[in-house]
Amino acid sequence: ILLKEVDPANLQPRAPIVVVMGHVDHGKTKLLDCIRDTDIVSREAGGITQHIGAYQVEKNNRKITFLDTPGHEAFTAMRARGARVTDIAVLVVAADEGVKPQTVEAIQHAQEANVPIIVAINKIDKEAAQPDRVKGELGEFGLVPEEWGGKTIMVPVSAMTGQGIAHLLEMILLTADMENLRANPNREAVATVIEANLSQNLGPVATVIINTGTLRVMDNFVVGSTYGRIKVMKDQTGHAVESAGPSIPVLIAGIPVTPQSGDILHAMPSEQIARQQAVSVMLLKEADIIKKRGIGEIISQISSGQLKQLKLVLKADTKGSLEALKQSISQIKNESVGVKIILSGVGNITESDVMMAAAGGGIVMGFNTTIYSNVKKLSERENVEVLNYNIIYNLLDDIKKILTGLLEPEIIENILGRAELKKVFLTEKKEMIIGCKVISGHVENKTKVRVFRNGQLTGEGVINSLKSFDKAAHDVNEG
Ligand code: GDP
C-alpha cells in the first residue's frame, strides 16, 4: 500500500534488486564476489567496497542491485515480515552436481513469492560440467530453457573464470525490462531494512534499500514501531552521501533501536508525525500478533470465505511417503477451498520451513518427522502451526477438517483490556510486581496477560493478585 502511486506519470525506471539462491557450495558467494569484482564503478569512486548487505554494479550504463546475503532463508524471513524487496532470483546450480535438495527448496521459495527466476549454471570451467543435464533436471520443476521451447533464461557461467558473467548481467537487465520496474524518486521514501546491527560509534545502524522516493540526511522516519532521524548515510564504498533514490542500498544511522531485516522504513514530514505513526504501528502490530495466533485464524478465515486456499508446507521421512501424501492431498476435494503445497521435501521440519509458512500464511505438516526445540520456538514466535503425524490417514483427515472448518481452534481469545506499564516495583525469578494504568477495557485478576514492548511480544503470564491503590481488587476499569 505504501508503494502505491496515484499518477503513473511520476514513475521512472529503477534498478532491479536481485537475490542469489541455490544449494550449498554451488558457488553463490563466489558468484556475488565475482560480480562485485567485475564492477569498476565503485573502484573508480576511490572507495573500498564495504560489505553492507547489498551492493550495486553497473552494466551497459544501467545499475543492478544485489542482496549480499545469498540463500532463500534471508529472502523468506524478510517476506514473512511483509517486505517485498526482491525483483529477480538468480538460481545457482553447479554444472557438475546438478539439482540438489536446496536447489529445489530455492525454486519453491522463489515461485511462491512470484519472483522470476534466472538460472546460472555455474562451474562450467570444470571438466565434469554437464550443463545440459542440469537443464533437463530443472524441467521437472517447471523451469525449461528458452532454447528448448520454455520460458526460463539459463546462463552457463563460471564464477571462477568470469566466463558468462557479463551475459548473466545482461539477462538480468532484460528480465528487469520485462518486469517494468518503476518507482517515483520525487516523494517521501519507503525503504526496506536488509540488515542491521549495533555499531560501536554510531549506535544502531541498518542497511536499507530504497523501494520508492528519495531518502535524505535529516529525514524523519518510522521503522517498525520506533522513529528517528537520519543522522548519517553512507553508500557501499563507505562514502557519506546526502540522498539515495530507488533501488539504492545505503547504510543509515539515527535509529533508536536495532531494527530487523524486513522492517519497512518510511520517511515522515516531521518528528511529531513520525512519533504518532510509530504509536499507531505499535497498536496495529499488537492487534496483529494477537489475531495471527495459531491455526484458529486460518480456520476462521476459511469459514468466513476470506481464504480460498490452504497453504501447506509438507515434509516427510522418505521420498516414497512424500509422493504418496502429495498424491492423496491432490485428491482432496472441497468446493470452496483448495490446498496448495507451497514447499515440500524429505527430512525434518526446519526453521526455513516455518518461515516459508509464515511468509505465505500457511501451516506446516510433517509425516514421521522430528520437530526440534529451535523449530518449535520459532513456530511459536511466528504463530505458525506445526503438526506432526505418524499415520497418513490422520494427516489427510486434519486437512479435510481444516477445509471444512471442523477442526475447532483449541483456544478462543477474548481480550478484556489493555494497560500501560508505568513502573516495575519488584523483579523476581518467576514474579514481578508492576504498576500499570488501564487504558482500555478492564483488567481482571487471575487472567492471562501478554507484555509488549515496541509492538513486540516480550512476555506472557498470569495475574496473581491485583490491587487498585492499596486495596485488593477483582477488576480495575479504564483510567
Ligand atoms: P556457496 O555455498 O553456494 O556460497 O558456494 P561458494 O561460493 O562458497 O563456492 C563453493 C566452492 O566452489 C568454493 O570452493 C568455490 O571456490 C568453488 N566455486 C565456485 N564457483 C566456481 C566455479 O565457477 N568454478 C569452479 N571450478 N569452482 C567454483
Calculate the CA dihedral of residues 101, 105, 108, 114 and round it to 10 degrees.
Answer: -140
Cα–ligand 1 centroid distance for 104 (angstroms): 19
Atom of ligand 1 nearest to the CA of 161: 23
- What is the structure's pLDDT at 1? 59
More confidently predicted of 360 and 134: 134
Is ligand 1 within 6 A of the CB of residue 160? yes
Cα–ligand 1 centroid distance for 342 (angstroms): 29
Atom of ligand 1 nearest to the CA of 122: 23
Best of 20, 23, 25 for a ligand 1 pocket test (most atoms within 8 Å of beta carbon): 25
Model pLDDT for residues 206-247, shown as the tens digit of each residue = 999 999 999 999 999 999 888 999 999 999 988 999 999 999
User: Are the C-beta atoms of residues 122 and 27 closer than 8 Å to each other?
Assistant: yes
Cα–ligand 1 centroid distance for 26 (angstroms): 6
Is ligand 1 within 6 A of the CB of residue 123? yes
Which residues, including other chains, have CB under 8 Å from residue 461's CB and lie 6 or more apart?
448, 449, 451
Cα–ligand 1 centroid distance for 94 (angstroms): 8
149: left (phi over 0), alpha (psi -120 to 50) or beta: left
Q: What's the CA gap between 37 and 57, in Å, rounded?
A: 9
Is the pLDDT at 106 greater than 60? The verdict is: yes
Per the listing, cell 570451467 goes with 125
Q: What's the CA gap between 472 and 317, in Å, rounded?
A: 55
Quote the crossing angle between the two packed helices 351-360 and 72-80, to the nearest 10°.
40
Atom of ligand 1 nearest to the CA of 22: 3
Per the listing, cell 500501560 goes with 420
- Angle among Cα 471, 473, 478 to the nearest 5 degrees reads 110
Which residue lies with its CA nearest to atom 17 of ligand 1? 27
Model pLDDT for residues 134-157, shown as the tens digit of each residue = 999 999 999 999 989 999 999 999
Is ligand 1 within 6 A of the CB of residue 36? no
Which residue lies with its CA nearest to atom 9 of ligand 1? 27
Is the pLDDT at 301 greater than 90? The verdict is: no
- pTM strictly above 0.85: no
